[in-house]
Structure 1
């Protein structure tokens, strides 16, 4: 008995010591938000005040010192995120996660982002102020790597910390640029539809630009092969391999003084980005005698993509222009390493790459490049077939001045200086939104655009010898869509179609008019906007289009076929205002109905794989409204039935009844249980949270959440046969700047400021975000200096 007691005591001591050791270990991994540190190459002392949400307010005597401190504090909260983002473009994910990511690494290496980054860095001027500040930022990151605690993810994955260099900044920007593009998901799919089904099927998809939609208006007072299907699948797999943010859409509007209660500009912006943990933006407020900026930073990029101070504010949405093209190449029948050019058969460039793989041998692979770009055959296992397809992407083909642009935007003092930097953004295509304390409001579409003849369809893979020429006729920046102080007294962007460019409706992958139409309908009649009403608008969950879709479809319902619950549901839908609140039953019924409508209309022609690819495209979202009133679409007939030709009425009725039956199966026959909160949820996934045992520690959520895709509060999801809608992307921040009271401007992040799971700021904004709440973006120095957490950096002796 005494022996058992002794063993029990020993075991208790061991467990206690283990808990103490683990506690000490965890404590050492937390970010330091207070105390003193020495920082190499610092000229003067820098004070970093952390507010109640862990946001650093950095006060330095010069910009280099401030950016050096920024690099350090950014790294201590987001080093793991920095590490992942810089690895994507250079093909370094397999080294962390193993063999499952080899296909993803091959794909991104073939895009040529890392090669383009090397070329750019080899040509930079080391004395450019933007480069000097970028290197100071990297110095701060690297000192944290040398001296700070190692994030827990490095222990779990077994990788070593390595210093950051300028190429890493450009690689992260390159990944960001690629994640904007929709051509990879769209062009191969549309080419397959045209080749296998015919042009009439393509015409009924409404993929082109349209005059029958809500345009963003210009106002400037100044001068068929299997390979096609599999390519789309390869892109989807590459982008979905990990919980890493993808840049997908956005809202922004800027209201001129004539329409605001206090006679000052109000600026609103909520970029829509794929949800992940940590969330994409790191907020930081920098103050020096010559520089002031409250900015939103991407991990590993020194200059903010969104920012404001007392003089001006800027933000972005995605332009959705088409800057990627695909070309068929014709191989020499006698030599597969040659292809047909204007000058006869010429050699492909053969590119050799090596991928390091965790717990396995390194992988050697090669791919071919034509004059158009990389040949995608063989890049990923899904891409097979004999007909070569090359990809041409503006981003890797032109001189990269994006860092110059971001430096210029963040250091501009007025609209003239601000606009000078915009032509330096050649890709990705962005809508840059602007407002200032002088009363100016503006929207600028930034990208290197070029003339596209009406006879060229850029949404199809070009046949050999056809398509856009290599030497494109470039347009000057002043020909880009833009609006400066329009007579409407507001500018906006919701990824919808812009007005004409150079006399044509410029091809792109624009999202439907839903959000744009709602934004305009709210802004136009109201002339007393303030911070409160703007914050209500940015969390608006009403669809201005979907009640019309229901009205169009309901005309074709045969009520004699409907069950009691079916009759209840359609009666409610006919009175629905499009409100996506948590209690909405109509929202649930509508989305089930639309999924079955899409499935019954398109899956018979496309098969399961292509149908799922179709559901991931922007044009699918644009298609729903016009399809709802197109009784003569060729798609209505089910090609698998040989004894009947189905029409719109058949498909609409079948789909509605299937939707009702599926809801009864999932939630019972009491319609009151079919609430939106039961099917629409949000969870912020961490890459390591994919391991079930670690999910609750690394992931944030899930939470039921109001909103939906293509309402202003754009909580987007993909359709699938589950009937449950896991929100995958949405507002990466909601921020509103009121120039009548800049110091009380407001914002929110989806989870928290820190990417360190041991930080108190890892998830402290998550429920506020779900509830549509905000917090202050502090800029008042006296208020900031009341902070209890102050981290002081001193020059290292």
Structure 2
């Protein structure tokens, strides 16, 4: 027996030793791709020595003799830290993910091939100005220089992920950067889903109820629409289940409610305590590890510039220079229209136009699929745009037999000069110059908040479609493509883009709220991203005569929900402090305890409090009960709280209180009845998940930020090393926005928010600060993978200085690039 035990002990010891040895070997090979930031390189492609000084937060400060050398070094630094992320963005835009991931991503590739973004990027590369062309080419040389170093010195294939997916890394091209910018445009637009949803809902609900669940933002210029059936007879419609957007983390197609959001505000010198302009900006995107943002400083011939870049793009897209600050928010411009195209029953290769039948423009495209046979698809284009398959965006539900759907979108052009606009904005020296640079911007359409030493401005940049005033659906629903008045009439002049400069109030702000009140067709949009956060912003701005950097930071981090403050008194009006005392352990007593807790709450969505969790669960259950019986499976499209709808119902605006009656029951339920039932239901679910004591519940336990690795994040065990999860405050409607997932077993997870925050103070520019939500490195073994994430979670920032001495003082390394002989 002793001998057996001894041999088992030896075997176990051997296995442990082998495992440790394997881990050491694995760590050695994986860590080879962590860059040495103090290394020197003799390298071709530059004219003189270049320094990449990485400060204590691993933010590269790049100094070179020429702008081209600086852009080269930015490409080199991006590739050092984010090579895997860059190649994935490029593959996504090219529709080539399936070469790596097999059939999992085939549907994604198919749709991206139909958009043909990469072909359009290749064409757009030919129309940039000379300075931008040189920047793109120099940047590409820098990326390729690092790839060459990886191949030459066996630097762990450049990133750990490349050991699992061994496809070769193609050389970087200028068009790759433009394609990524177009991909960002795709990620920031949800108009397709909005059109389809409005069409489907119009087939189920009468016009009065349609205005409840898909309300127009208050203001003039909104005209009533016909129902979809009168525009496009024969659409399937009905209450068929929704085809959701892909939930694959590799998918660039956001759901309608995650298609872009942001905050930005600015103060003129008259409203600044220190007498200089102020600007704050926090753009919102889906969370990933690493974040899409990469902090960098470039020393150009026009001066230093520092802020947020996107790996793959040679520009500081938001940030500041010595004299100018600029920030971005989603404009919600309606830059996409769906068209129902009638196919010739005698010839399926033709479609109907205002002038008769016309041939589709067709091209075949082969998608290479890992471990499977290649898939060949036929791409078809009409005058309006590419034909999209009915299997995507739920298009089949609104497409009559014998018809297909095409898409008009401003980004679908081979003459896209948005990259030139981005480079010129970065090099602008004043608000006026930056506004003029925006003239060349095509897509994605953005609100640009600007501040220089003297003034502030807000400018919408991006191509605005020119629609006919007689358009049948005003671009709000799919419309017949063969009717001339439905088709686009070109692009509106840039002067029609909304702008506001140096207002009398001295303050400008945008939270994706409605910015203009102009009648169709110069309306910008019917669908806006916010009706709530703007109210809290107005309250904070009006509370002070003058503002400081600290007050702008306070506003960025504000977690008080105007929505909670306005909705709870409505839905609980007849429940507060009513009813007989109930014994402990009964649903009635639990309800009374929850109401007592909420009655003393100020609406702060703090991660440490139980009130936000009770409020969110209650209102979510209430909305579900209100709409499910009328809308059936279509209710799935409304997975987040709709504040304007709930307010209309509980104020009985235009008879909206009828939603409270359960159609399937004989009794006539009141809104109070439904509010009480929904609260009991919500509390039951919370007790099952978090225990019986409401005082011990924490919003942050449910509202964790999900900075997940899009490829490795679902692999057992490995996900604990690559995913970054953090307890967070805020919710869908707070200025510190943390958009909830809205579906699945964890509907309150924080999946979409500010991956970048910056506050710029031109009274003392070097006191400006910024932060990103994870870290600079995309390497999970690097200490810079998540080091900024904890600061971000706590609401802290790092300095945003253009002082070279400060960058060098605590540098983690200085990379020197020297021209090779």
1:690 counterpart SS class: coil
Which position in structure 1 is the counterpart of 2:558? 540
CA deviations 1:470-502 (Å, max 9, x no partner) are 342643222222110101101111000012246
Please tell me whether residue 443 in structure 1 is matched to residue 467 in structure 2.
no
- Secondary structure in 2 aligned to 1:396? coil
User: 1:578-622: CA deviations, max 9, x gaps?
Assistant: 1011232221111111111221111223323x3222326xx9465
Q: 1:577 to 1:44 in 2, by over 3 A?
A: same
TM-score normalized by structure 2? 0.89
Distance 1:381 1:259 in 2: 46
Question: What residue in structure 2 maps to residue 552 of structure 1?
Answer: 570
Q: Distance in 2 between matches of 1:90 and 1:635?
A: 49
Shift of 1:754: 0.9
Q: Describe the shift of the 1:628–1:320 C-alpha distance in structure 2 as closer, same or farther (beyond 3 A).
A: farther
Instruction: Tell me which moved more, 525-534 or 538-547.
Output: 525-534
Q: 1:746 to 1:261 in 2, by over 3 A?
A: same
The one of 425, 439, 446 equivalent to 1:423 is: 439
Residue aligning to 2:309: 297
Contact 1:68 1:136 in 2 (8 A): yes
Cα distance between partner residues in 2 of 1:86 and 1:196 = 41
Superposed displacement of residue 349, structure 1: 2.5
Distance in 1, matches of 2:270 and 2:737, equals 28
1:85 aligns with 2:89: yes
Is 1:674 the counterpart of 2:697 in the alignment? yes
Q: Aligned in 2, Cα 1:169/1:230: closer, same or farther, shift over 3 Å? A: farther
Aligned position for 1:218: none
Q: Which residue does the alignment assign to 1:233?
A: 243
CA spacing shift, 1:231–1:453, aligned 2, 3 Å = farther
Which residue of the partner structure matches residue 679 of structure 2? Answer: 656
Q: Say if 2:585 is the partner of 1:581.
A: no
Provide the residue aligned with 2:168 in structure 1.
160
Contact 1:479 1:502 in 2 (8 A): no
**Do the aligned partners of residues 584 and 39 (structure 1) sit closer, same or farther apart at CA in structure 2, a change above 3 Å counting?**
same
Q: In the TM superposition, what is the alpha-carbon distance from 1:679 to its structure 2 partner?
A: 1.8
1:103 lines up with 2:107 in the alignment: yes
CA-CA distance at 1:26 after TM superposition: 3.2
Q: Is the aligned partner of 1:191 residue 2:199?
A: yes
Q: 1:227 Cα deviation (Å)? A: 7.8
Q: Residues 279 and 760 of structure 2 are in contact (CA less than 8 Å); yes or no, is this contact kept in structure 1?
A: yes
- d(CA) in 2 for partners of 1:611 and 1:9? 58
Task: Give the deviation of 1:725 after TM superposition.
Answer: 0.9
Distance 1:722 1:479, change over 3 A: same
State how 1:287-436 maps to structure 2 within 5 Å: 287-378=299-390, 380=392, 384=396, 386=401, 387-397=403-413, 399-436=415-452
Contact 2:572 2:672 in 1 (8 A): no
- Over aligned residues, Cα RMSD in angstroms? 2.9
Mapping of 1:608-687 within 5 angstroms? Answer: 608=633, 610-615=634-639, 620=642, 622-630=644-652, 632-633=655-656, 636=659, 641=664, 643-687=666-710
In structure 1, the partner of 2:530 is 512
Report matched runs for 1:257-272 at 5 Å.
257-272=269-284
- CA distance in 1 between counterparts of 2:490 and 2:319 reads 34
Secondary structure of the residue aligned to 1:371 is coil
Distance 1:212 1:595 in 2: 30
Indicate if the aligned counterparts of 1:427 and 1:447 stay in contact, CA closer than 8 A.
yes
| Mapped contact 1:433–1:444 kept (Cα < 8 A) | yes
Q: Offset at 1:288?
A: 4.2
1:773 shift after superposition: 1.2
Cα distance change of structure 1 residues 247 and 30 upon mapping to structure 2, 3 Å threshold: farther
Q: CA deviation at 1:525?
A: 3.3
d(CA) in 1 for partners of 2:322 and 2:625? 54
**How do residues 492-511 of structure 1 correspond to structure 2 at under 5 angstroms?**
492-501=509-518, 505-511=523-529
**Residues 217-245 of structure 1, C-alpha deviations (whole Å, 9 max, x = no match):** xxxxxxx7458989973544577748999
**Aligned equivalent of 2:262:** 250
Offset at 1:640? 5.2
Confirm or deny that 1:734 pairs with 2:752: no
* Aligned counterpart, 1:491: 508
Partner of 2:225: none
Using the alignment, how far apart are the partners of 1:289 and 1:317 within structure 2? Answer: 28
Q: Which moved more, 1:230-239 or 1:721-730?
A: 230-239
CA shift, 1:660, in A, is: 2.3
- Structure 2 residue aligned with 1:705: 728
Q: Which of 54, 57, 66 is residue 50 of structure 1 equivalent to?
A: 54
Displacement after TM superposition at 1:423 (Å): 1.4
Tell whether the 8 Å contact from 2:123 to 2:414 is kept in structure 1 after alignment.
no
Distance 1:212 1:542, change over 3 A: farther
Structure 2 Cα separation of the partners of residues 39 and 543 of structure 1:
54
* 1:147 and 2:149 aligned: yes
Contact 1:373 1:392 in 2 (8 A): yes
> Please, which of 591, 594, 598 is the counterpart of residue 619 of structure 2?
594
CA contact (8 A) 1:540 1:712 kept: yes
- The 3-state SS of whatever aligns with 1:329 is strand
User: Quick one: structure 1 residues 398 and 138, their matched pair in 2 at CA, closer, same or farther if it must change by over 3 Å?
Assistant: closer
Q: Distance in 1 between matches of 2:360 and 2:345?
A: 14
C-alpha displacement at 1:535, in angstroms? Answer: 1.6
Distance 1:434 1:692 in 2: 45
Note if contact 1:278-1:686 (Cα within 8 Å) is conserved in structure 2. yes
2:42 maps to which residue?
38
SS of the aligned residue for 2:260 comes to strand
Displacement after TM superposition at 1:533 (Å): 2.3
Change over 3 Å in CA distance of 1:464–1:451 after alignment to 2: closer
SS in 1 for 2:411: helix
Q: Output one character per residue of 1:303-354: Cα deviation in whole Å (capped at 9) or x when no partner.
A: 1111212111111000011111111122222333322211222222233211
* CA shift in 2, pair 1:15/1:234, >3 Å: closer
CA distance in structure 2 between the aligned counterparts of 1:580 and 1:289, rounded to whole angstroms: 46
Query: Once the two structures are superposed, what CA deviation does each residue of 1:534-582 show, in whole Å capped at 9, x if it has no partner?
Result: 2222101011232111111123549449712212322333443210112
Shift in alpha-carbon separation, 1:130–1:274, aligned structure 2, 3 A: same
Q: CA, structure 1 residues 410+788, in 2 after alignment: closer, same or farther (shift >3 Å)? A: same
Identify the match of residue 480 of structure 1 among 494, 497, 509: 497
Cα–Cα, structure 1 residues 376 and 788, in superposed 2: closer, same or farther, change >3 Å? closer
**What does residue 134 of structure 1 align with?**
136
Using a 3 Å threshold, how does the CA distance of structure 1 residues 551 and 34 change in structure 2: closer, same or farther?
A: same
User: How far apart are 1:639 and its partner, in Å?
Assistant: 6.4
